[in-house]
Amino acid sequence: MTKTDSAVVVRVLYGSETGTAQDVAEQAWKSAKRKGLQSTVSSLEDYDIRNLISDQLIIFVVATTGQGDPPANMRRFWRLLLRKNLPVNMLQDLKYGILGLGDSFYQKFNFAAKKLNKRLAQLGGEELLPIGLADDQHNLGIDAVVDPWMKKLWDEIGNAFNVPVEDKVGEENSVIERYDVAVMETGRSTSMSSLCRSKSDIYAQEALTKDGVRIGTIVENKRTTTEDHFQDVRLIQIQSDGVQYQPGDVAYVRPKNSVQQVKRFFDILHEHDVKLFPDTVIQVSQKEIKVPFVLQRNLTLGEIAEQYWDLNFKPRRSTMYTLSLISENELEKEKLHEFASPAGQEELYDYINRPRRNVLELLTDFPHTTGKLNAKLLFEIMSPVKPRAYSIASSSKATPNAIQILVAVVRYKTRLLEPRFGLCSEWLASLRNNDKLVFWLQGGTFRFAKDKPIILIGPGTGLAPFRSLLLERALTDESLRDYALFFGCRNKERDYHCKEDLERLSREKNLKVFCAFSRDQENKVYVQHVIRRQRELCWQFLQNGGSIYLAGNSKNMPNDVRDEFVNLVKEIGEMTKEEAEVFVEHLEKNNRYQCETWS
């Protein structure tokens, strides 16, 4: 039976740890609205799973975390979907599309999306088109897959439901607005004095209304690298009464933009005659999409710019599209339209991704278009600050009522004159004793073995979850002789993080510590080279039921270390390369080789 566009509802559901899937889902929702289709968008945790039986069309946008796990706001939905008593034809009336957002540096690339796709098919759902597997490592980022997949999706929806899927043009309001945004008080002050970071936190109410959300107090912010070292790394202790966690757990932190960045934002607006000020009071109410909790009370635009919008955000194709709709300058409109088109993606990459250009720099480069902005439009082109995740580096038993995180402050240069920086790490490094921050804890992906030998590989800040484990086990285990830690950094005297802890555990608890100081000799030495030197010990650990845990940067190290384990199994275990590969794969499948990496 064919259906008209008034009958079909395009439901878009997202599962995401940090918000990227939400961004993509909302763009899919906007695309449906532009086509004149009925559409809704929500997180999987807000979706009533009982509607699965009656819904005809769902688009899933799903990220993957850790060891191929579903994101936090998808877990309840996933548990219900896995119930064994569900009939195999339960979803026979459902047509669906799944878009996975992942990173191919991770071994279980887009695993959550793949598992969801398999389960929906098992329950009788009909796949509209093959699953889309977006890869953050692609030169064009996730858009390289998202854009063509979405185009194909609309074609398939048009065919399946007999509805037109062309964008409708000539409508009075061409920008699809998510919220009703009203200016309650116009404001007039250009002063930044109202932004007092230690006293004003728009997310503080979450600690009163959401389970697990806490307000922590900085009690120590100590640099673990020498002042003359190129990188600033901090061990930050956050006090919070009654906090409980396990080794491997993760702390999510809500960062803020610097006052300097906020000032720059308002300076750009004022330079282009946009009459919005830090003390302008804004009210956000529901129009099409549920308003985030933090915006459900009146806030000043200064508070929103400091704490809600990411002023370091790298604009995506959707940002260019929205700006192209409001631009009235012929040259700017043409360039924005090009950036928003499929044919312009290479040029957009060269403009945004290569130099890591942020949204403030974009607004500066398109002054005539910037002059057309207002409060409503800012909510359509700006992206919310995403919480950042850090492995906890402390033990709740050794340091009660507190957590410690090991933070590498991100600063680097591109071809742009102004150096780039990481929003959260730069903000964390600026915090002083007694400053407050909003955070929450989440179970980590590592599942540490007990009463078995353990091999830990944690170069750089990858040390954090293993420091947590070792400090905890040192309080309960008589000896740590069945633990081997491989740590790597550049110089023994400049960036050997938590050196005193590791030397103490080695001295008092027989922890085996092997270090790779890559720049302390002419030939560079990395953790995989030190593993090679200790291959007899590693093989002995594995033969005794031991497990391997690896944490750190995802670029080259994880693959290099894995290759080294395949080689040592081949050499010492006297296997062929194929047999050694099967041996390591067996470790991975049985959670005896676990990785937690980031880019």
DSSP element (H, E) containing 515: strand 512-517
**Contacts from 330-335 at CB under 8 Å and sequence distance 24+?**
332/366, 332/368, 332/369, 333/369, 335/366
Q: Which two tokens stand for residue 193?
A: 């004095």
Q: Which two tokens stand for residue 350?
A: 């060269």
Question: Tens-of-pLDDT digits for all 599 residues of the chain?
Answer: 334 445 789 999 999 877 789 989 999 999 999 898 999 999 999 999 999 999 999 999 999 876 678 888 899 999 999 999 999 999 999 999 999 998 887 778 899 999 999 999 999 999 999 999 999 888 888 888 998 999 999 999 999 999 988 887 655 458 888 999 999 988 777 677 665 444 579 999 888 888 899 999 999 999 999 999 999 999 999 999 999 999 999 999 999 999 999 999 999 999 999 999 999 999 999 988 889 999 999 999 999 999 999 999 999 889 999 999 999 999 999 999 999 998 898 999 999 988 999 999 999 999 999 999 999 999 999 999 999 999 999 999 999 999 999 999 998 888 888 888 999 999 999 999 999 999 999 888 899 999 999 999 999 999 999 999 999 999 999 999 999 999 999 999 999 999 999 999 999 999 999 999 999 999 999 999 999 999 999 999 999 999 999 999 878 899 999 999 999 999 999 999 999 999 999 999 999 999 988 87
Residue pair 83/127 in contact (Cβ under 8 Å)? The answer is no
Pick out the residues of the known binding site for FAD.
Answer: 356, 388-391, 422-425, 598
CA–CA gap between residue 243 and residue 403 (Å, rounded):
8
Q: Which two tokens stand for residue 134?
A: 């977006």
CA–CA gap between residue 33 and residue 176 (Å, rounded):
7
**3-state secondary structure labels for all residues of 67-89:** CCECCHHHHHHHHHHCCCCCCCC
Pick out the residues of the known binding site.
Answer: 16-21, 63-66, 136, 356, 388-391, 422-425, 461, 518-519, 524-528, 560, 598
Pick out the residues of the known binding site for NADP(+).
Answer: 461, 518-519, 524-528, 560
Identify the three-state secondary structure at position 137: coil
Full set of structural domains in the chain with CATH: 10-161 (3.40.50.360), 203-254+387-444 (2.40.30.10), 256-386 (1.20.990.10), 454-597 (3.40.50.80)
| Residue 577 phi, psi (nearest 5) | -65, -35
Q: For 305, which DSSP code?
A: I
CA–CA gap between residue 106 and residue 374 (Å, rounded):
41
State which amino acid sits at residue 151. K
State which amino acid sits at residue 53. I
Q: Which residues contact 1 (CB under 8 A, 6 or more apart)?
A: none
- The pLDDT value recorded for residue 197 is 46
- The pLDDT value recorded for residue 2 is 37
Pick out the residues of the known binding site for FMN.
Answer: 16-21, 63-66, 136
Q: How many other β-carbons are positioned within 10 Å of the β-carbon of residue 560?
A: 14
**pTM beyond 0.95, yes or no:** no
Q: How many other β-carbons are positioned within 10 Å of the β-carbon of residue 596?
A: 24
Residue pair 28/75 in contact (Cβ under 8 Å)? The answer is no
